Amino acid sequence: MNASLRDLRQHVDQTPPPPLDVEGIIARGDARLRRRRAALAAGSASLAVAAIVAVAALPSSDPTSGPPAETPSPSITETPAPTGVRPLTYTDDYTVGPDLDIHWYMKSIQYGDRTIRPGIDATALDLTDDGVVMVAPDGGIHFSDGRTTEKIGETTILEGQSWAEWGVKTSPAGSLATWFTPEGPERSLVVYDTHQRKVLAEVPRPDCVPDHCSLSAVVGDRVYYEWLHVAGPRATTRLKVLDVPTETVSETDAGTLSADLRFHPRGFVKGDNYSTGEVVNQDVNDEAVYFVPRGSTLELQRVVRTTGADIDGDGEGDGPVVYGYGGFDATGRRLNLQLPAGYTPAENAYVLFQWLDDDRFAVMAGATHGSGNFGIDGWPGYGDILVCDIVRERCTLAAPGPDPGVTGSDDDAQFRLVPHLTLPN
């Protein structure tokens, strides 16, 4: 090559740059952003997790807050969220038992387009990505994939314990189910994988007498539970977490749990600000996650404040409740859910009970309205199940409520039973 470096540089400087296709770049970028929106949202959430966990690890001047310095922190692994589809699940087919402590015996369960006949008196119902977890009156825990049913464990059923799960917990996504084995010196916390059909972890918990430990949530490969610590006349509730891969139990706090939930889909953030709103899912909330009709849309509801006198001494007003509306899913998508055209909404709230996949969830009207006048006659729309699609921004009527078949007697009312939620009594 005879040209000098100076001549070559002069030639490059005099060469005009190629034309820039701005519109093409924007179009390709928009397509890439749409494909990776969920991944980018998850990545942003993971930064929030890291920040909160780092803050939680700092020394505190309050000796009563946070775990002891020597307590290891749970590992929060950034693994891709499961994307399994769960069929819509509920039952209208049951008998009423004579014992009020165990009131409902499910004879068959509608599992998508299949009908599961478990062959046991199922008194509680929960879901994994692989099938249905049920609990029998004797505390036996059973699993059905829609074809076969097998016993996978056992627990202790306490008087007054929620009929929703009888102490068994699953996650809105994934294959894990967890429970405490029957009370006694050999009691342990068990984590079972319904996909592999095997126990992944079993950690001795002899201090977890039935009324001192309660499961809070399964988030990814971590199991959160509350432990009532009694020391003399004092009793304090502490939040513990089991890291399943390492079988390590450590003390944690509500901030870490909230951050963990924010990283995973299939949850919601209440409020107008995604970064500061309250994170809730079907387990970690007070009573339930409520949606209410407002005009032509279905809105996520939150309590803003209560007014009036503090009647029960809990430091909060007991008068009328002021509500706020709106929110996001856990990945940051704002909820804008249109009700079905021509549909007359129920007069009571709709309650989250199941996610079908990362975009679709199911709610039922009147699912947690307790005992007494349960309202089959007085609550038009009771039992209606809506499936809401966050991407399509609409809800559809997936299963109209059961025919009451009553003339005014609550004892003869036809209720609808769904997974996760406390059953009517």
Q: What is the rounded average pLDDT of the residues 21-39?
A: 41
Q: 């402590």: which residue's tokens?
A: 101
53-91 burial code (b ≥16 CB/10 A, e <16): beebeeeeeeeeebbeeeeebbebeeeebbeeebebbbb
Question: Which pLDDT tens digit goes with each residue over 163-188?
Answer: 555 689 999 999 999 999 988 888 99
Instruction: Answer with the residue of higher pLDDT: 283 or 294.
Output: 294
Is pLDDT at 7 greater than 90 in this prediction? no
Q: How far apart are CA 182 and CA 166, in angstroms?
A: 12
Distances (CA, A) of 256 to 71, 150, 219: 14, 35, 11
Contact (Cβ atoms closer than 8 angstroms) between residue 318 and residue 312:
yes
Q: How far apart are CA 86 and CA 75, in angstroms?
A: 27
Structure tokens at 137: 């009156």
Is pLDDT at 298 greater than 90 in this prediction? yes
The residue type found at 333 is R
82 SS3 class = coil
Q: Report pLDDT for 3.
A: 44
Q: Specify which residues 204 forms β-bridges with.
A: 188
Return the C-alpha torsion angle 381, 385, 388, 393, nearest 10.
-30
66 SS3 class = coil
Model-wide pTM > 0.85 = no
Name the phi and psi angles at 74, rounded to 5: -70, 145
Is pLDDT at 221 greater than 90 in this prediction? yes
Instruction: Answer with the residue of higher pLDDT: 360 or 103.
Output: 360
49 SS3 class = helix
Q: Report pLDDT for 173.
A: 93
Q: What is the rounded average pLDDT of the residues 53-67?
A: 36
Contact (Cβ atoms closer than 8 angstroms) between residue 255 and residue 241:
no
Quote the mean pLDDT of the chain: 76
Distances (CA, A) of 132 to 82, 104, 107, 144, 329: 17, 17, 14, 5, 25
Question: Which pLDDT tens digit goes with each residue over 314-337?
Answer: 666 667 888 999 999 999 999 999
Question: Which pLDDT tens digit goes with each residue over 184-218?
Answer: 888 999 999 999 999 999 999 988 876 788 899 99
CB burial class (10 A; 0-12, 13-18, 19+) of residue 227?
middle
Is pLDDT at 15 greater than 60 in this prediction? no
Is pLDDT at 65 greater than 80 in this prediction? no
Q: Report pLDDT for 198.
A: 96
Question: Which pLDDT tens digit goes with each residue over 72-86?
Answer: 333 333 333 344 799
Q: What is the rounded average pLDDT of the residues 391-412?
A: 75
Is pLDDT at 286 greater than 60 in this prediction? no
Q: Tell me 271's DSSP state.
A: S
Q: What is the rounded average pLDDT of the residues 334-354?
A: 93
**Residues sharing a CB contact under 8 Å with residue 186, sequence separation 6 or more, in sequence order:** 204, 206
Contact (Cβ atoms closer than 8 angstroms) between residue 223 and residue 284:
no
For the ranges 134-143, 161-170, 289-298, 401-410, the lowest mean pLDDT is seen at 401-410
Question: Which pLDDT tens digit goes with each residue over 239-260?
Answer: 999 999 999 999 999 999 999 9
